[in-house]
Amino acid sequence: MQDKTPLSPPPVLGHYDRPMWESIRARAMRLQQCKHCNTFRYPPGPTCGYCLSLDFEWQPISGKASIWSWIVFHRQYLEAYTTPYNVISIQLEEGPLMVSNLEGSEPKGSWIGQAVEICYVTLKDGTILPRFCLIQ
């Protein structure tokens, strides 16, 4: 019997998500920025969460962020995530919160507030994901 467990959830490639995933594949992540109030949007969508404007431009992000929260999983759900693995909530310098994983070395002491920057990993199936590494 063939294992049908996905390596990782596939990227959502809807109208508003596709440009973001293309920028991730180019290792230069971009997000929508509201043309009315300059708020960055994540996840991608049709309206600004702050002012409800429909106007936006795709803008590169700095990749700099800080950790808001974290957890370590000891149960495996997907092939790409062997245990133990961490999940972090980060706040991008541009404002939005994202959920990702911390790559490389882990903080000594509290993870909360640690400065991180985006790094891109390529899974066995070729999927490129944005993850975050500590700024040393």
Positions that interact with Zn ion (CB under 5 A): 34, 36-37, 39, 48, 50-51, 53
Please, which residue, 48 or 88, has the CB nearer to Zn ion? Answer: 48
Q: Shortest gap between Cβ of 103 and Zn ion (angstroms)?
A: 32
Query: What DSSP element (H or E) covers 66?
Result: strand 64-73
Minimum gap (Å) between residue 33 Cβ and Zn ion: 9
Which CB, 48 or 67, lies closer to Zn ion? 48
Nearer to Zn ion, 8 or 47 (CB): 47
Task: Indicate the residue among 47 and 86 with the shorter CB distance to Zn ion.
Answer: 47
Give yes or no for a contact between 130 and 27, defined as CB atoms under 8 angstroms apart. no
- The Cα-based distances of 26 to 14, 21, 38, 107, 127 in angstroms read 18, 9, 24, 28, 12
Whole-number Cα distances in Å, 132 to 10, 47, 114: 19, 27, 11
CB of 44 to Zn ion, least distance (A): 14
SS (H, E, C) 14-40: CCCCHHHHHHHHCCCCEEEEECCCCCE
Output the smallest distance, CB 39 to Zn ion, in A. Answer: 5
